[in-house]
């Protein structure tokens, strides 16, 4: 998660340091709910990036370039 830059990365670091959502929101002039949304989106992106890296290392669909599922419409 250290690759995050800008406001989102700063928010993640502040949260890691124990800042509340409300305090972070006050710093950036947004609601605590919006801070929560931004942080959840960043966490989801990080999880997807890690999953793709694991799939590529294991030789899964992410590394082969082939479609994940075959098209059954061409087979009778």
Q: pLDDT tens-digit profile of 14-50?
A: 999 999 999 999 999 999 999 999 999 999 999 998 8
**pLDDT reading at 56 higher than 70:** yes
Q: Read off φ and ψ for residue 74, nearest 5 degrees.
A: -85, -15
> What's the pTM value of the predicted model, to 2 decimals?
0.65
Is residue 41 within 8 A of residue 48, CB to CB? The reply is no
Q: Where are the domains of the chain?
A: 1-56
Q: In this structure, what token pair is assigned to residue 72?
A: 């059954």
pLDDT at 59: 80
Per the listing, tokens 């992106």 go with 45
């Amino acid at each position: 998660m250290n690759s995050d830059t800008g406001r989102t990365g700063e928010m993640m670091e502040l949260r890691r340091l124990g800042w509340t959502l409300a305090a972070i929101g006050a710093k950036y002039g947004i609601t605590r709910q919006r801070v929560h949304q931004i942080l959840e989106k960043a966490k989801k992106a990080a999880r997807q990036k890690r999953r793709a890296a694991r799939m590529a290392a294991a030789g899964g669909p992410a590394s082969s370039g082939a479609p994940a599922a075959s098209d059954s419409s061409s087979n009778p």
